């Protein structure tokens, strides 16, 4: 029995998330992270939240639609409903098969947006996280930090979803929410995402390559 557990632990992949305010550059950097991992011989699954499954994508449409605003409690429960499906159907099976999962947003976003942004109690979010994905937390989180003005500048030419249409105070609280999470969780590495793309990419590359080295040393 003990031997079987050790074999599973050796095979398990790693879970990397990208976090930060809207327009911070997460999607751009998620592509780079996946490319770095593949260059190191890892099998990679890239995904995002809310979404990542058929049901998750339908919930994403509801959550991001500015024409159907919902109560903060409803919003929080829908985020976790999408996440429950995502963890069970995509993230856990991939990790168990030894693949590395790169996910654009996860529960740190719920703490920042629904917690600090909307005022949902952190204890309630912690309880929902324990109910939905106890034992499945990211091994590494890259949190791209940008001020609200930079986010707004980067998004100015596109149609904004419900979250992106929130006012500056909401976006300031969300940014502070991510900073609070980073102060609490050692797995979260904050990267200044407001710099030129090549500088942000270099910082991301250094962090991911150091993480790969640490992971290989502990295998």
Name which position in 96, 127, 183, 197 contacts ligand T5A (CB under 6 A): 197
The distance of Cα 38 from the centroid of its chain, to the nearest Å, equals: 20
Which contiguous run of DSSP H or E holds residue 142? strand 140-145
Please tell me whether residue 25 binds ligand T5A under the rule CB under 6 A: yes
Shortest spacing between CB 38 and ligand T5A, in angstroms: 19
Please tell me whether residue 27 binds ligand T5A under the rule CB under 6 A: yes
Neighbour count for residue 53 (Cβ, 10 Å): 21
Taking the CA atoms of the chain, what radius of gyration do you get in angstroms?
Answer: 17
Q: Quickly tell me which residue has 């997460």 as its tokens.
A: 26
Site map 155..194 versus ligand T5A, x via CB under 6 A? ------x-x-----------------------------x-
Name which position in 15, 100, 113, 178 contacts ligand T5A (CB under 6 A): 113
Please, which residues have CB within 8 angstroms of residue 179's CB and are 6 or more apart in sequence?
A: 145, 190
Binding site for ligand T5A (CB under 6 A): 22-28, 49-50, 64, 79, 104-105, 109-110, 113-114, 154, 161, 163, 193, 196-197, 200
């Amino acid at each position: 029995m003990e031997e079987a557990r050790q074999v599973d632990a050796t095979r398990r992949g790693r879970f990397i998330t990208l976090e930060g305010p809207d327009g911070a550059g997460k999607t751009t950097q998620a592509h780079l992270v996946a490319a770095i991992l593949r260059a190191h011989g890892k099998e990679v699954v890239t995904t995002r939240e809310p979404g990542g499954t058929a049901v998750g994508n339908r919930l994403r449409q509801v959550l991001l639609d500015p024409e159907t605003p919902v109560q903060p409690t409803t919003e929080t429960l829908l985020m976790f409903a999408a996440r429950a499906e995502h963890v069970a159907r995509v993230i856990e099976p991939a990790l168990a098969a030894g693949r590395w999962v790169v996910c654009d947003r996860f529960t740190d976003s719920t703490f920042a947006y629904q917690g600090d942004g909307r005022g949902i109690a952190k204890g309630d979010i912690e309880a929902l996280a324990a109910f939905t994905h106890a034992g499945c937390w990211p091994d590494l989180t890259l949190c791209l930090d940008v001020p609200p003005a930079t986010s707004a500048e980067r998004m100015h030419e596109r149609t904004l979803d419900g979250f992106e249409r929130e006012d500056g105070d909401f976006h300031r609280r969300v940014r502070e929410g991510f900073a609070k999470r980073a102060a609490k969780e050692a797995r979260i590495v904050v990267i200044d995402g407001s710099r030129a793309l090549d500088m942000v990419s270099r910082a991301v590359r250094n962090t991911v390559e150091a993480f790969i080295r640490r992971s290989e040393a502990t295998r």
